[in-house]
Amino acid sequence: MKALDITEVAQRSGVPASTLRFYEEKGLIASIGRRGLRRVFPGHVLEQLTLIAAGRAAGFSLDEIARMFAPDGQPDIDRGMLSAKADELDATIRQLTAMRDGLRHAAACPAPRHLECPTFRRILRAAAAGRLSRPARLTPVRK
């Protein structure tokens, strides 16, 4: 796979150069040299970046993601960790679903005080019940 300099990586991946440098510093990706001042990355860095984005989307921290890569950049994913995360996501999904239903109900319910509406209270309980553990951040809030 062809080598790409940092600007090309930034353009193709949509990840800002500053973030690429930051990720390199953190050990999430590795450059294979320089072209003048410019970092040069191996072509597969693009897939790594996709993986990183997906991991972030699933709620992994950068540190956790870093732990998933072997030193050579090959994914070395702990399967137990993956299913643990899947379980976490399941809990999150249930919670979000309850919240969504709560919001829909609140939007439709004519009761003057939602906290007194039994349906809303039931939904609240459900939403508050399971404790999630990690953010599922997405949309890098790129403006």
Partner DNA sequence: ATGCCAATTCAAGCTGACTTGAGGTCAAGC
Partner DNA sequence: GCTTGACCTCAAGTCAGCTTGAATTGGCAT
Q: What does the block give as tokens for 58?
A: 């699933």
Tell me if 32 sits within 8 A of 3, measured CB to CB. yes
Residue 113 makes contact with a second copy by CB under 8 A: yes
What does 79 bind: a second copy, DNA, none (CB cut-off 5 to 8 Å by kind)? a second copy
Determine the Cα–Cα distance for residues 38 and 117; give it in Å rounded to an integer.
61
Tell me if 46 sits within 8 A of 13, measured CB to CB. yes
Residue 50 makes contact with DNA by CB under 7 A: no
Residue of the chain from 16, 27, 33, 135 that contacts a second copy (CB under 8 A): 135
Complete DSSP assignment for 103-141: HHHHHH---S-GGG-HHHHHHHHHHHHSPP-S----S--
Q: If binding means CB under 8 A, how many residues of this protein chain bind a second copy?
A: 56
Residue of the chain from 27, 43, 50, 61 that contacts DNA (CB under 7 A): 61
Give the DSSP H or E segment for 73. none
Residue 30 makes contact with DNA by CB under 7 A: no
Q: What are phi and psi of 106, to 5 degrees?
A: -60, -35
Residue 63 makes contact with DNA by CB under 7 A: yes
What Cα–Cα distance (Å) separates residue 121 from each residue in 26, 92, 109, 110?
A: 44, 19, 12, 15
Query: In terms of CB distance, is 35 or 125 closer to a second copy?
Result: 125
> Which residues bind to a second copy, rule: CB under 8 A?
44, 47-48, 50-51, 53-55, 57-59, 73-75, 77, 79-80, 82-83, 85-86, 89-90, 92-93, 95-100, 102-104, 106-108, 112-115, 123-125, 127-128, 130-139
> Which residues bind to DNA, rule: CB under 7 A?
6-7, 16-19, 21-22, 35-39, 56, 61-63, 137, 140, 142
